[in-house]
Chain A
Amino acid sequence: MFNLKFRAKPSPPEDPGAPAAAAGAGRRIGLPAFLDLLAGPEPAAPGETFLIEAAGGGLPLPAQILDVPPGGAAGAPVVFVFHGALDQSRRRIPAFAGRFLTRKAGRFATVIGLADPALGIDPALKLAWFAACEGGDTPAAIDALAAGVAARLRPGRVVFTGGSAGAHAALRHARALPGSVAVLVNPRMRIRPSRYWQDYLRLCWPGTGRKPADLRALVPDIAELAAQKAGGGTLVYLLNALDTISLRLATEFLAPRETLDDVLLQVEHWPGFEGHSYPQPAWAEWVRAAAEAPGVSVAEIAAQKAGAAPRPQSRPAAPPAAPPRPAPGPGGFDAADIHLADQLAATAE
């Protein structure tokens, strides 16, 4: 097992679009105590890093409570935020994304930032998709946290969000929590083949002798994600129109899906945002709309974002009436088909 250490490095000036770095290793805390603290009258000060102990004794899960709405966390929406790839030579870990959400869109939710504990294994590691590694089962820890938060706080809505590679974890965990919504921004959910994947295999599973096929099963690739049932609620898929790689990956993810009824796809352009970037206000507004919409359907979230008056969950519209089926003719064939066949035969007499 790895002895996980978070190294302290000088932090670069804060880039509001990048994950916020947290100082120090953080306070170790059990999941029940973390939930107590979250539900209490005075939650932890924003910016304090907690290392939530894993049930099986593996890697603790770094988390920060980035904001709690003025009325307290109970009953309010909860947003889990996942960071993308990190260059540890430039950024200290654990790092948390998402403080901008309530700064840009108002204090509408309890926002919990999560950091991938696997990055502490080696400074060369930039991305591990919040996946399991030899030292611990991070996905199980996140699912336990989300389920615990849902049970304890009874939030109106749980939203999982992440940009770039962070979208992978956001989608996975939204699917594990019924009724939740995933807000994915410029998703990069292709795992293989990539240098990141090779680094993950080499550094996170160095000596177990596990077969590559077993490890592949731990981190579903984009086609496998696309094939999975939705599970949760709507998937809000946000794309910058000038991020061509993410656009291509979107076709790869969306095309094979059995249905797109649960996908709210939005492609937009903003001057000054070219390539793999997305303006924080727009991201925050979508997360808020997902958190506050009266239901989790595409129509309700879209209407909420557009500022439409909330409306009750409506029953699905009745499908348009099918065209009247021609009356069966002789032999059970359609009378219309027989009529056309007779017309056709007459032209050959």
Chain B
Amino acid sequence: MAEHPYAALPPKAFWKTAVATRHYADLEDLSGPVRLAPSDRVATAGSCFAQHIGNNLAARGARYMDAEPAPEGWSHEEARRHGFGIFSARYGNIYTSRQLLQLAEEALGRRVPAIRVWEKGGRFFDALRPSVDPAGHASEAAVLRLRARHLAAVRRLLAELDVLVFTLGLTETWEASGDGTAYPVAPGTLAGTFDPARYRFRNLRYPEIHADMTAFRALLREINPAARMILTVSPVPLTATASGGHVLVASSYSKSTLRAVAGDLAEDHEDVAYFPSYEIIASHPGRAMFFNPDLRSVNLAGVDYVMRHFFRAAAGFGPAAETEADEPICDEEKLERYAAG
């Protein structure tokens, strides 16, 4: 019998045996082993979908880090409304590679954004995480004091974590024209004022994202040489695009670019892994079964399915404790109110 490179490949290598003839709920071997043990200190950051991963890590007994807990006496709802307990620190949604890199640089004292505070209705907001304070603060000074404390928490988190699970969400961002500081939302949406002379739109490209993530990895390993990263790409499409194109096409650009960067980083660095939550939720054999009727947000069945594969790839975790799932908190969804009709 003729030998050829495909002759000895396992069933997962063939579409017919791995996908076409299987029920979608029975897909196997989607991810290689993920280096994550129950003893690892795990932190999460990223877009909305990263919140699901954090919730599930906590429910399964992982050493899930919370470097910035809510003040004593606050209820669970109050804490979440004010940005506590959503990710491993109170940074809100980190949608882009640029945000992640600049946050780490700022936490390590290597950059100070020129515009850090936005105003709205006489109240002051942290422009780098405007959603965490729904009513802002009484003074700019209060915002900056809380930001300093936040940055100290982030610095501690980066130094102490074993694994950072980062979910890449968007390529589109708004940045300050002066120093290139990337913001999670456009000025003027949650707070601040949009001034075209001070802010501009940027749709990050592959080389920029790759460079951002490479620089972030270098910073992380500088203060924490053993740190590892697990990268995922959010399967949640864009709420809106400022690119001038159709939002569906813009979503495809964004996700495919992020996916390519994540794959290359995982390929090139032993300490970086890629977990295919994007593919599990958004691939066409799933027939959109894991999306809510808005065809954007992911339903609970989808989250469960992703996490089942995740914990199959990361051995040693117990079953999830029964908990009531929290609705994810997403800054980007606030753009929905600007949709016509």
The chain A residues found within 8 Å of chain B, CB to CB, are 193, 221, 223, 227, 245, 248, 251-252, 255-258, 329-334, 337-338, 340-345, 347-349
* Residue interface bits B147-163, CB-to-A below 8 A is 1, else 0: 01100000000000000
A348, B74: Cβ atoms under 8 Å? no
* Residue interface bits B277-289, CB-to-A below 8 A is 1, else 0: 0000000000111
Given A248-B23, A251-B25, A340-B74: A334 and B135 within 8 A (CB)?
A: yes
By a CB distance below 8 angstroms, the chain A residues around B148 are: 348
By a CB distance below 8 angstroms, the chain A residues around B133 are: 337, 341, 344
A330, B123: Cβ atoms under 8 Å? yes
By a CB distance below 8 angstroms, the chain A residues around B134 are: 333-334, 337
B20 close to chain A: CB less than 8 A: yes
Give the nearest-CB partner of B72 in chain A: A347
A258 vs chain B, min Cβ distance (A): 4
B288, A256: Cβ atoms under 8 Å? yes
Give the nearest-CB partner of A337 in chain B: B135
A283 vs chain B, min Cβ distance (A): 25
Give the nearest-CB partner of B150 in chain A: A348
A38 vs chain B, min Cβ distance (A): 40
Whole-angstrom CA separation of A334 from B81 in the bound complex: 12
B121, A255: Cβ atoms under 8 Å? no
B293, A256: Cβ atoms under 8 Å? yes
Whole-angstrom CA separation of A340 from B23 in the bound complex: 49
Give the nearest-CB partner of B20 in chain A: A193
Contact for A347 among B71, B120, B123, B291, CB less than 8 A: B71
B290 close to chain A: CB less than 8 A: yes
Tell which of B82, B135, B289 has the most Cβ of chain A within 10 Å.
Answer: B135
**List of 5 A-B pairs having minimum Cβ-Cβ separation, nearest first:** A331-B121, A337-B135, A333-B135, A345-B142, A348-B145
B218 close to chain A: CB less than 8 A: no
B17 close to chain A: CB less than 8 A: no
By a CB distance below 8 angstroms, the chain B residues around A193 are: 20
By a CB distance below 8 angstroms, the chain B residues around A337 are: 81-82, 133-135
B71, A255: Cβ atoms under 8 Å? no
By a CB distance below 8 angstroms, the chain A residues around B122 are: 330-331
Q: 8 Å CB contacts to A: which residues of B96-144?
A: 120-123, 133-139, 142
Give the nearest-CB partner of A193 in chain B: B20
B123, A333: Cβ atoms under 8 Å? yes
Whole-angstrom CA separation of A343 from B81 in the bound complex: 14
Q: List 14 A-B contacts (CB under 8 A).
A: A245-B23, A252-B25, A252-B287, A330-B121, A331-B121, A333-B121, A334-B135, A337-B134, A340-B135, A342-B137, A344-B82, A345-B139, A345-B146, A349-B145
Assign chain B's interface to a size class. Answer: 35 or more
By a CB distance below 8 angstroms, the chain B residues around A344 are: 71, 82, 133, 146
By a CB distance below 8 angstroms, the chain A residues around B29 are: none
B149, A338: Cβ atoms under 8 Å? no
B299 close to chain A: CB less than 8 A: yes
Whole-angstrom CA separation of A337 from B149 in the bound complex: 20
Given contacts A255-B290, A256-B289, A329-B135, 8 further A-B contacts (CB under 8 A): A256-B292, A331-B120, A331-B122, A333-B135, A337-B133, A342-B137, A345-B139, A345-B146
By a CB distance below 8 angstroms, the chain A residues around B293 are: 227, 256-258
A340, B82: Cβ atoms under 8 Å? yes
By a CB distance below 8 angstroms, the chain B residues around A257 are: 293
* Residue interface bits B287-316, CB-to-A below 8 A is 1, else 0: 111111100000111100000000000000
Given A255-B301, A256-B288, A345-B146: A331 and B74 within 8 A (CB)?
A: no
Give the nearest-CB partner of A342 in chain B: B138
A189 vs chain B, min Cβ distance (A): 13
A127 vs chain B, min Cβ distance (A): 18
By a CB distance below 8 angstroms, the chain B residues around A345 are: 137-139, 142, 145-146
A223, B288: Cβ atoms under 8 Å? yes
Whole-angstrom CA separation of A252 from B285 in the bound complex: 12
By a CB distance below 8 angstroms, the chain B residues around A256 are: 288-289, 291-293, 299
Give the nearest-CB partner of B148 in chain A: A348
Give the nearest-CB partner of B24 in chain A: A252
A230 vs chain B, min Cβ distance (A): 13
Given A255-B301, A340-B78: A331 and B142 within 8 A (CB)?
A: no
Q: 8 Å CB contacts to A: which residues of B237-284?
A: none
Whole-angstrom CA separation of A115 from B134 in the bound complex: 61
A221 vs chain B, min Cβ distance (A): 8
